[in-house]
Structure formats: C-alpha cells, structure tokens
Amino acid sequence: MTSPREPALNVCGLSKRFGEVQALKKIDFQVFSGELFGFLGPNGAGKTTTINILTGLARPDSGSIHIGGVDCVARPRGAQHLLGVVPDESNLYGELSGFENLSFCAALYGMSKKERTLRARELLEFFDLSQAGDRKFGSYSKGMKRKLTIAAGIIHNPRILFLDEPTTGIDVASARQLRQLIAKLHQGGTTIFLTTHYIEEAERLCERIAFIVEGSVVRVDRVDTLMQPVQNHHVLQLAYQGGPENLEFLLRQENMTGEEDHTFSAPHKGILQVEAPRPIRVGPLVRFLEDRGAEVYEARKIRPSLESVFVQITGIEAGMMHKEKERKSAKGGEA
Amino acid sequence: MKSWIAFWNILLKDMRTYYLKPPNVSWGIVFPLAWTGMFFVKSGRGLESLPSVLPGVVAVSILFGTTSMLAVTVTFEKKNRTFERLLLAPLPLEVLMFAKTSGAILFGVANAFVPVIMGALFFGLPPVAWHIFVPAVTLIALASTFLGLFIAVAVSEVFEAQTFSNFFRFPMIFLCGLFVPVSSLPLFLRPLSYALPLTYGADLLHGSLRGEHALPVLLDFGLLGIFCTGLFLLSIHNIRKRWIA
C-alpha cells in the first residue's frame, strides 16, 4: 500500500528480546503524516513494548526508527520534541491542579511562561475542563484524568501523538467523548498512533490498522481494504419464542430456502443465525419458523465488522481480549 | 535556554510537592536539632564542645536528609509512572537527573545550616573557615544526594530504598571519622574509610570548624568532587541500563 503522504514514522525490522521472550520480531510499518493509525493486538502482543521503543523509553535490539526524519536509534532522545505520549494510565501529578500539570508539562518542552499559560488555558477549554482547571488532578474522575493526560500529551504541538489504550477503564459516556476528541484532533491534522484492544474503536477512528500478534505484525492495511473479504458475507439473526428445539437442524435438513449456500446456527437459545455470501431473504425464513409454531419477533442484519477480520487473521477471539484487559484495568485502577 | 526552563520548573515542582511540605520542613528542622541535642548531652560539656559536635551533626543531617528524600522523589515517582513523563521530555538525561536531584541538594544544604544557625543564635559560633565550610557542605550534599540517587535507581520500592540506604548510611557515619578519628580505627577498617565520600567531607568540616585537617584541603575537595561525579555518572548509567533498556 502506498500513500502520497510523507511518512511521519518509519519502523523497519524492529526487534526486542526480554530474556527468553522475543517481544518483537522484526516488525515493519509506516505511519503517514496526518494519519490516524491503529495498532491492534491482544495483551502481551508487543503493543506497549513497541510504543516504549518508539517513544524512547526502551531501546531496540535491532532495526531502525525514523520520526520526522530523525534516526531515533542513533539519537534516542533526538526526536523527543516531535512526539507526544499518552500512556494507558494517567501519569500526571495528583498534588498539582489541572492547569499546573499542563503548565509543568509545557515547561518540560522549554515553553515560556506566557506560552505555557496560553496553551494550558486553550487546552483546558478544548477538553471542556476549564471549570476544573484549578482543582487538584488527584480529585478528578477517571474520564477527566484521561482527558487531561491527552491534553498534556499535545501541550507542545507534537508531530505525532502516541495514544496507548485511551478509553480503557473509563465509563461509556467519557469514552464516547474521548473518541470524539481524538477524531477532532485528527481532523486538526495531528498524526495519531493509537493502540487499543477495542476493535470497534479502531474501526471507527482509524484510517489504517496494523494487527500485532506475539511480537509480529501480521497485517497492515487500510480499514476498508481489511473489510473487503467480509463485505460479501451476510449475517441475519432472528429472535423467536416457542417452536421445536432443533429448528436450525430442521432448516439445514429441509433446505427450506432452497439456497445451498446458507448456513444455520443457534448462538443462543431463541436466536437463529443465518449466514450467506449474498443478501438473505427474510420472508421464507419467518414463514418456515411460524409454520413450526415459533413466534418471530425480531429480524436483525448483522453488519460485517473488523472483529471478524481480526479473528480471521489472528485466530484470537476478540471477546477474550476485552475481558482480560477490563479485568486488568478494574484491578489496577487509575494512577 | 529551553533546558534551563525545564530544569527550573522541575526544581520548583519538586520543592512545592516534596521539600516544602510541612512534614519535610519539620523533619529538616527537628532531625538536626535532635542530633545536636543528643551529642551535647553525650559530650557532657558546655559551649566548648560545639566545634567538636557540629561537624558530625552537619554531616549526618545532610546524609539522612538527602538520601531519604531521593527515595521518595525518584523511586516513588518511578513506581507511580510520573517519572516516565520526565523521561519523555526533550532533555539530556544528565540535565534531567541533575534537575531532579537539585531539590535534594538544596534540602541537604538547608539541613546542614539548621544546627549552625541554632548554634550561632544560642551559643555563639566558634571561628569558622566559611570558605571551606560552605563548599564542603555543598559537596557533601552533592555526594549524599547522588548516593541516594544511586540507591533509588537500584530498587523499585520506597521501603527498599530506605533499607538499602541504611546499609550505606550507618557504617558511613562510624567509619568516616566524624566521631572516631580514622587514625584511631583498626587498621583493617581504614581502607574502607578512605573509600567513603563522607570521610573527606568530615575532614573538611573538622578543618573548617576546628582547624584540624587529617588530609590536605585540596585533596579532600578533589576526592569529594570525584566521588560526586562518579556517583552521578554511575546513576545515569544505571538509569539507562535499567529504565531505558
């Protein structure tokens, strides 16, 4: 896949070993200027190791990294001013207010007091935190903490922003608001490198996605290209009550729709799932069920999702990934 | 200029969030006072014992003040991940770590002057060679702070840092010549004494307050400077090896 845009980040043959564990196995990818790039994989796949290496918090064993043209392996701290990092846990100072935290982070990048004040106020406004600007960071809710951490990550207008699991462990409303803010940042031209285990989040936000499994990047592509194989896969779910227990078996046996390529399954009690390589006719199905005493009360077309692509490519059930991460997040809480 | 802004703000932030907190201010005052009182009582003498007590109290105050604080400002922040934010800043690691330790150095120097000021107010000070005393206090504060940094980088929990610090602090107090002259120590312990930075600091303090130098002043300053540089560079090396590996 080529792009007319210039690469903001170029990673080539990156490897890292921790003792016996080969955490990264010669991974390659590029992130283009202004792009929102998703980095998807289960826990332990190598996402955080990759981010740590790219941001200068760890050293690779081999490979090259160029950020904005700077060779980050030869000059590990040479590109620090070009990048912003938002870790998976808020790492600001609980003792300082929101405004003071932003001002302090700006000072780390050498901004003058006047610039710091202006930028901090601007970001507090952008992230809808103006009212809480004078409150101590320690008293913020998880969603507010995450928003301020993102604000701190972009305080110096970085060329590329690394977002590590930005919506993990926060409530649904805050997560939604954060996704909107991320989209807004992206529309404003910020290059974003996003790691997440929420596949639907990556699907909604990202332009291109890399799947990483056990330290290897198994696929990098545009979301629409990744989705192509599942675009012609149609799934229909019917919810019903009553009728015989083995409805899907009867459907299969009697081939009631006359369509050889339909497959039937019952993922849950009272749910019939039909899959086919073309649109599925609902009428014959409903008639078949009602003729056998079942009452159909809902027919729902299941939209093909990136999750199916992820499962196909990696062989990992996405649901498992969510559960594991949420458990970890609930246990660890926020910083 | 940009590095200077970052340096200054790290120092200010640490001052506000750690060193100027009431518990630490009171520690900085009460601890040296308690040591002073203890040595006065122990000496059983009056004002004339001040020059002999002061070097020990000054050195111990600096040593405990700086090493204890580093365990919090570095180990705690590393554990809390706030230290990562500093590591991400576009600053040379040396500048960053010097900024991070400068609060402790100032805290150590301030600690050192508590018994001096108290002595001056209540007893009157004996003649002090300030041109030796002030740089000596500063170098002892630097060496102790960098020793604290070396320890803080080697461990991952605050309690480990405190325990590990004691492993260095207590033997150092008794071996550095503050209370027992190095020349009076058993022969086999003397090489160990000369391997400790505080030995040279103690000699400078004794010299500035009592005029009794065991070693030439310049040698004391030179060796103390080498210890400071060595401990700082070793800590930086360990940070690179352990935290940016």
Size of interface A-B (CB pairs under 8 A): 73
Q: What's the gap in Å between the CA of A113 and the closest CA on chain B?
A: 9
pTM of the entire predicted model: 0.84
CB contact under 8 A, B85 and A58: no
Q: Could B80 and A96 be called an inter-chain contact, meaning their C-beta atoms sit closer than 8 Å?
A: no
Q: For residue A1, is pLDDT > 50?
A: no
A110·B2 Cβ contact <8 A: yes
Judging contacts by C-beta atoms under 8 Å, the chain B residues touching residue A57 are 84, 87-88, 243-244
Cβ contact B91–A111 (<8 Å) = no
pLDDT of residue B49: 67
Chain centroid to CA B13: 20
Instruction: State the best of B7, B81, B85, B242 to mutate against chain A, taking most chain A CBs within 10 Å.
Output: B85
Q: Tell me: the pLDDT tens digits for A252-290? A: 777 665 667 788 888 888 888 888 888 888 888 888 888
Q: How high is the pLDDT of residue A259?
A: 65
**Bigger pLDDT: B182 or B142?**
B142
Strands of the sheet containing A70-71, edge to edge, are A21-32, A7-18, A62-67, A70-71
The answer to whether A109 contacts B90, with C-beta atoms less than 8 Å apart, is yes
SS (H, E, C) B84-139: HHHHCCCCCHHHHHHHHHHHHHHHHHHHHHHHHHHHHHHCCCCCCCHHHHHHHHHH
Measured between CB atoms, does B187 come within 8 Å of chain A?
no
Residues A127-153: what's their mean pLDDT?
94
- For A284, residues 6+ apart whose C-beta sits below 8 A from its C-beta are A256, A257, A258
Partner-chain contact A109 B93, CB within 8 Å: no
pLDDT tens column, B97-113: 999 999 999 999 999 99
Mean pLDDT score across all residues of chain B = 89
> Which 153-172 residues of chain B touch chain A by CB within 8 A?
none
Distance of CA B219 to the CA centre of its chain: 19
Q: ipTM beyond 0.85? A: yes
CA distance B163 to chain A (A): 26
Measured between CB atoms, which of A58, A85, A110 is closest to B6? Answer: A110
Distance of alpha carbon A258 from alpha carbon A261, whole angstroms: 9
Residues in chain B with CB shorter than 8 Å from the CB of A59 are 244-245
pLDDT value, residue B48:
64
Domains belonging to chain A, first-starting first, are 7-228 (3.40.50.300), 234-302 (3.30.70.100)
Say whether B90 and A93 touch across the interface (CB within 8 A). no
Judged by CB atoms closer than 8 Å, whether chains meet at A92 and B82 is answered as yes
Contact A91 B13 (CB under 8 A): no
Write the residue in A77, A91, A107 that is nearest to B82 by C-beta.
A91
A135-163 average pLDDT score: 94
Alpha carbon distance A119, A40 (integer Å): 32
